[in-house]
Amino acid sequence: MNSLMQRLSHSNRGGLTMRHLFVFVLLMALVGSGAEAESPAAADHGTPDGRQGGETMSDAFVIPDLPFTDTGNTSDNVHDYDAAACFGSPGFTAPDVVYSYTPAADEVLGIDLCGSSYNTRLYIMDGNMDIIACDDNFYFDHASSDCGPLTSRIEAVSVTGGTEYFIVVDGFLEYAGDYVLAVDRVDPSLLCHIAYPLYPPIWYDIEPPLGPGYVDLYNSGCDDESGTYPYIVANSFGTGGSLDFVGASGWTDPGVYDTDWIFCLVGPTGVCEWTMDAEQETYGFFLDFDYPNCDDVVVLDQMIVGPCEPGSMTLIESEPGGSVWIKICPTGINPPAGFFGYQYDYVAHFEGLLSGLSTESITLDKVKSLYR
C-alpha cells in the first residue's frame, strides 16, 4: 500500500489530481473487498485442495444418486448462507459449500458429516431457501463415537419427489476445514421422536446406557443369564392408579437386543390398561408363567407399537390386587438402516395399578418376598 501511495504522489508532484484521487479510492475499494471476501477462517483452518461442493445454490454440486459420499475442504470458500432461523445465532461468517439433490420419489434422507475435522453445521434447504432440517453438534451426545464431538448429522428428513433440495456444509462462528459428507436413504422410523410426559406420576428408567458388551443386570428378567433375574416393579406412587413409565430399549452387539421385564402390581379392580409408544418398532408382551420358573413362559397377548404408532392392551389379573408380567423389546435383532447409537426411547402409560408404593428395580429374591 505504501508503494501505491508513493507512485500516486510522484505522478502529481504538487498533490493528487481528482483523477488520481478517484483511481486511488477505487483501488482501495478493490483491495478492501478482496480482503473481506476471503473469510478469516480460510487462513487459519484446513488445507484448501479444490475438493468440495459448489460455492452457491446456482453452482451446487449435483448428487447423481444415493448412497453418495464426498470429501472436501471449506477453507478456500466464502460465506454465502446463514441458517440463523434454525440455530438462533445470526452473524456467523464461516465459509460454506452447497450440494443439490432431486429425489425421483418421496423418501427419507440421512445426511452425515461424521469424520469431519472442524466444528460443523449442516442444513438442507428448498429452492426458496426455507430450512427443511438442520443440526449443529449431533455427536456431542455421542462422545464414544469416532465422529468428533462437534460434527453434525441430520438423522432423518422427509423429501418430496421431483423437488430440488440444497445441502449446505457450514461451520460454527468462522470455522472451516476438511469435511466428510455422506447422504443416503434411511428407514422412515428414524423420523419418530417420542414426547416425554410432562406431569407426574412419572417414573424414568435408570438402567445404564446400552453399548457394546453391555450385560443387563437391571431388568432383563428371564432373559438374564447371571442368575439374578432383575425386574422392574410398576405401581402408582400417587393416587388414582396411573403411571407413566419412560424407558429405553435397543441393541448392544450384533444380533443382541435389550429386553425390559416389568412386574405390574394391579389395583383392586384386577384390570390394568396398558398403552405404549416407541421410537422404533417394539414388542409389548403380556406374560404368564409359573413364577419363578422361566422355562414355561406363556404369551397371553402381544402388541407391536411404534415408530410413533401407539398401541394398547388390557391386562387382567384373576385376583384383584394381584400382579401381572409384561416384557418390552425391539421387534428386530438388529437396528434398522441408518440407526445411530444403541438405544431408543419408549413411553408406557398404565391405568389401574396399585397405588401408594414407589416404582423400583427388583431382584428375584425381592419378588419372592411379595408371595410370602
22, containing H or E segment:
helix 18-37
- pLDDT at res. 289: 85
d(CA 22, CA 27): 9
User: Average pLDDT for residues 100-127, to the nearest whole number?
Assistant: 95
CATH code for the part of the protein at 202-369: 2.60.120.380
Confidence at residue 197, expressed as pLDDT on a 0 to 100 scale: 85
Q: Single out the residue of 108, 101, 103, 107 nearest to residue 162, CA to CA.
A: 103
Q: Is the pLDDT of residue 301 over 80?
A: yes
The lowest-confidence range among 94-103, 248-257, 322-331, 361-370 is 361-370
- Average pLDDT (56-85) is 92
Sheet of 178-185: strands edge to edge?
Answer: 68-73, 178-185, 107-112, 153-159
Domain boundaries, the chain: 44-186, 202-369
Does the pTM surpass 0.75? The reply is no
SS3 361: strand
Per-residue pLDDT, 143: 55
Helix H or strand E segment including 101: strand 97-101
Distance CA 56, CA 54 (A): 6
- Architecture per CATH, domain 44-186, reads as Sandwich (2.60)
* 320 — pLDDT class (breaks 50, 70, 90): confident
Task: Report which DSSP code applies to 196.
Answer: P
